[in-house]
Amino acid sequence: MADPLVIVHVYPDLLGTYGDRGNVLALAYRAGLRGVATEIVDVMADQPLPASGDLFVIGGGEDATQLLAARAMLADDRAASIFGGSAPVFAVCAGLQLLSRTFLGFEGRPETGLGLLDATCDRLAERAVGEIVLEPVELPGVPTLTGFENHRGTAEVGPSARPLGTLVAGVGNGDGRTEGVQQDNIVATYLHGPVLVRNPVLADTLLERVTGPLAVVPRDVTEQLREERLDAADPRRRPEGRRSRLRR
């Protein structure tokens, strides 16, 4: 029997305020549809990160727990080499900021991230809360992405990185154009939902970076959820949006 695919859930005792463990479960579920066995390993903040993980998932959190997570990561001598290695890393909200160069902590004080993403994170004037839609950037085969954002953070993406997608609706990185950050093996986003439940093809794309091409599986209830949320939030799917496109 082949060894199971090891999904490492990073600091679930601190990060995962908005149900981001659902991303871990979505990866395991999508792998299981293809007969790929998985093992979920929860690594708490007081434990060293395992170098043997096949795929790493980092969730979101409030300011206080994010700062604790940052201290734990910076204290782990292997964190930068593990997250910057060949294994895919999927990071949400606080996870995005922790892997960036800097982010703002309590009272707007700059804090140091791991610097694996060429991005700096500031703070929005007002909290972004609501449905968000984006078109993925340089992710072949991944369709329009849907999610729910609830954050005050921004992300200024530097030349060594690229956004996860371009905005159709929502606030995203705060520049009016983009959402998320991608660089090397890391995919990072402010999208909750959980985002990999809402976007199963994105989950498959992360898995395929470990397994190679996966078999096509029948559409299921997650695709129905995705379509429902896009119908509700994507202005291009509304009658007035369709009419405006016809006029061009």
Domain of 126, in residue numbers: 5-218
**Beta strands of the chain (E only): which ranges?**
5-10, 38-43, 55-58, 89-92, 102-104, 110-112, 119-120, 123-136, 145-153, 156-157, 165-169, 178-179, 181-183, 186-189
**Share of the chain residues as helix, strand and coil, in percent rounded to the nearest 5:** 35, 30, 40
CATH of the domain at 90: 3.40.50.880
Task: Determine, yes or no, domain membership for 211.
Answer: yes
pLDDT in tens, 41-55: 999 999 999 999 999
The pTM assigned to this predicted structure is: 0.94
Task: Determine, yes or no, domain membership for 242.
Answer: no
Phi and psi at residue 52, to the nearest 5°: -90, 0
Task: Determine, yes or no, domain membership for 243.
Answer: no
pLDDT at 34: 97
Task: Determine, yes or no, domain membership for 97.
Answer: yes
- Number of folded domains that form the chain: 1
Task: Determine, yes or no, domain membership for 46.
Answer: yes
Task: Determine, yes or no, domain membership for 51.
Answer: yes
Task: Determine, yes or no, domain membership for 225.
Answer: no
pLDDT at 241: 54
Task: Determine, yes or no, domain membership for 141.
Answer: yes
Would you say residue 248 has pLDDT above 70? no
pLDDT in tens, 54-75: 999 999 999 999 999 999 999 9
